[in-house]
Amino acid sequence: MKRRAVLMGLVATAVAPTITACSAGSGEESAAPANAAKLAASSGHITGATAITEVFGNGQRLTAVAVEYDTTIDRSSLSLSSFKVADRTVTNVYANTKPQKAGHGTDGAYVIIELSPADEAAAVYTDAFSGGSSPSAPSDRSASPSASPSSSASASSGTQSGPPKGRDLSSGSTLKDAVAAVTQTASLSTTGGKTYATSGTAVKTSKVVNLIVDDFRQLSYTDSTTGNSLK
Give 206-228 pLDDT, tens digit per residue: 999 998 665 666 678 888 888 88
Does position 128 have pLDDT exceeding 80, yes or no? no
Of residues 89 and 220, more confidence is placed in 89
The predicted-structure confidence for 153-194, as pLDDT tens digits, reads as follows: 333 333 333 444 445 455 568 889 999 999 999 999 999 999
pTM over 0.75: no
DSSP one-letter code for 215: G
Does position 38 have pLDDT exceeding 70, yes or no? no
DSSP one-letter code for 77: G
Asked whether the beta carbons of 198 and 155 are under 8 A apart, the reply is no
Query: Which has the minimum average pLDDT: 103-107, 112-116, 124-128, 193-197?
Result: 124-128
The predicted-structure confidence for 39-76, as pLDDT tens digits, reads as follows: 554 567 999 999 999 999 888 999 999 999 999 999 99
Asked whether the beta carbons of 109 and 188 are under 8 A apart, the reply is no
pLDDT of residue 205: 97
DSSP notation for 95-144 = EESSSS--SS--SEEEEEEEE-TTSGGGEEEE-TTT-SPPPPPP-SSPPP
Query: Which has the minimum average pLDDT: 13-17, 60-64, 100-104?
Result: 13-17
The predicted-structure confidence for 185-208, as pLDDT tens digits, reads as follows: 999 999 999 999 998 899 999 999
pLDDT of residue 108: 98
pLDDT of residue 39: 56
Does position 15 have pLDDT exceeding 80, yes or no? no
Asked whether the beta carbons of 194 and 207 are under 8 A apart, the reply is no
- How many CB atoms neighbour CB 176 within 10 A? 19
Average pLDDT over residues 144-151: 44
- pLDDT confidence tier of residue 3, bands split at 50, 70 and 90: very low
- Across the chain, what does the average pLDDT equal? 74
Asked whether the beta carbons of 82 and 198 are under 8 A apart, the reply is no
pLDDT of residue 47: 96
Per-residue buried b or exposed e for 110-138, using 16+ beta carbons within 10 Å of the residue's own CB: bbbbbbbbebebbbbbbbeebeeebbebe
